Amino acid sequence: MEELQSHERVMNILVRQIFSRQLKPGDKLPSERQLSKDMDVDRASLRIALKHLELMNVLTIRQGDGVYVRDYMKGASIDFLRMFFLQTEEPDNEWVADPYILDEIWEFWTFFLPEMLRLAVPKITPRDIKTMIDFFETTPNADAATCYIKLVKTGQMQPECHRGFPTPWRSFCYFTGLYKLAPKSAFFNGYFQGNLDLTRIHPIEACVGAFLMVKRTVGETIGWWNEKYFFYGEDLDFCYQIRQHGFKLYFNPNCHISHFQGISSGLKNQTQKITQASRETKIRVARASTNAMKIFYQDNLFKTYSPLTRQIVLLGIKLLEAKRVFKAKYL
């Protein structure tokens, strides 16, 4: 386990005190001088820690008055809950086994999860589920399937529900916008397989994980999800393994669902007003998104390209990461 930075150590201490009710909603924290002395940390690190917890809606900093504890049950971000589970990676942290604290965690989770699901989980009807089940029953060679996914905020189809594998050329056309010049071309828009008819059922290479039905035997054969991926990329890798094992993934436009997209990450423009993701979450996710690209290329595509092409791809991913992290930090 990496050694924690000073501000992370302060955050962990305060989180423990909040979960264990040593600090209760409405309590005022000691002065900066006292906290700095008690925690043996410099004031700059202390202020960073307090600011992070304020962004998580756990503390309120009142200029000229002090720092107060908020009721995390009434609006703390998912990052706050995440901090607790990160503690479980430290076997010496006996506090995580405290039944009282675990009860607090469970209460928080059961309070927060329904709202998170209400916003983030795709909307689907029983009729759509039946449509997909009927499709599998009448299409024996369909091993997995996705559907037409409509974005709630724009009313348009989510392009990622009908896509190809991101080869270097396809990725170049997509990220430069070249594919827009010939959206129906397999050569220029292979990234979204624009040459295929979106009104008809047909096999595709990949889809987004917002909706994906898979036969159990298929998942067991390929080993289900690749745990190398943190936030993005596992759905694309899963689709790639489906293809590599000789299975078929279908696109079925007769089934429709609605998807908010970006609620958890906070990176999508169309859901900026309703996401609860903190600035820290956005930065982590921005890095995770490009790290997923790197993992996918190294594990699945690198062996088919020359050393020069590999280096160009890695450079492109590095530049994209810098752009996304900058946007997450400052915009």
> Are residues 250 and 309 located together in one domain of the fold?
no
Q: What letter does residue 288 receive in the DSSP assignment?
A: H
Alpha helices in 74-215 (DSSP H): 78-87, 99-120, 126-138, 168-176
Which helix (DSSP H) or strand (DSSP E) does residue 150 occupy? strand 144-151
Of 120, 152, 177, which residue constitutes the final position of a domain? 120
> Are residues 43 and 151 located together in one domain of the fold?
no
pLDDT of 194-206, one tens digit each?
Answer: 999 999 999 999 9
Beta bridge partners of 202: 251
> Are residues 241 and 132 located together in one domain of the fold?
yes
Residue 174 forms part of a structural domain: no
Residue 173 forms part of a structural domain: no
> Are residues 208 and 302 located together in one domain of the fold?
no
> Are residues 225 and 283 located together in one domain of the fold?
no
Q: What letter does residue 64 receive in the DSSP assignment?
A: T
Q: How many residues are present in the chain? A: 331
> Are residues 252 and 330 located together in one domain of the fold?
no
> Are residues 154 and 252 located together in one domain of the fold?
yes
CATH number reported for the structural domain that contains residue 99 in this entry: 1.10.10.10
Domains in the chain, number: 3
pTM here is 0.66
Residue 184 forms part of a structural domain: no
Residue 230 forms part of a structural domain: yes
Residue 64 forms part of a structural domain: yes
**pLDDT of the chain along its 331 residues, tens only?**
345 678 888 888 888 888 777 888 999 999 999 999 999 999 888 998 898 888 877 899 998 889 999 887 666 666 666 666 555 445 455 445 455 555 655 565 565 556 555 555 556 777 888 899 999 999 999 999 999 999 887 889 999 999 999 999 999 999 999 999 999 999 999 999 999 999 999 999 999 998 999 999 999 999 999 888 877 899 999 999 999 999 999 999 999 988 887 666 666 666 666 566 677 778 888 888 999 999 999 999 999 999 999 999 999 999 999 999 998 888 7
> Are residues 214 and 252 located together in one domain of the fold?
yes
> Are residues 321 and 289 located together in one domain of the fold?
yes
**Whole domain around residue 147: which residue ranges?**
122-162+198-261
For residue 83, which phi and psi values (nearest 5 degrees)? -60, -35
CATH number reported for the structural domain that contains residue 140 in this entry: 3.90.550.10
Of 120, 150, 174, which residue constitutes the final position of a domain? 120
| Number of Cβ atoms within 10 Å of the Cβ of 217 | 9
Q: Residue 216's pLDDT is what?
A: 93
* Contact call for residues 262 and 286 (beta carbons, < 8 A): no
> Are residues 111 and 133 located together in one domain of the fold?
no
Residue 172 forms part of a structural domain: no
> Are residues 157 and 254 located together in one domain of the fold?
yes
Residue 190 forms part of a structural domain: no
* Contact call for residues 271 and 260 (beta carbons, < 8 A): yes
Of 211, 240, 261, which residue constitutes the final position of a domain? 261
* Contact call for residues 257 and 211 (beta carbons, < 8 A): yes
Which own/partner contact pairs does 313-320 have at CB distance under 8 Å and 24+ positions apart?
A: 313/168, 313/171, 316/171, 316/172, 316/175, 317/290, 317/293, 318/290, 320/175, 320/290, 320/293
> Are residues 93 and 204 located together in one domain of the fold?
no
Residue 170 forms part of a structural domain: no
| Number of Cβ atoms within 10 Å of the Cβ of 78 | 16
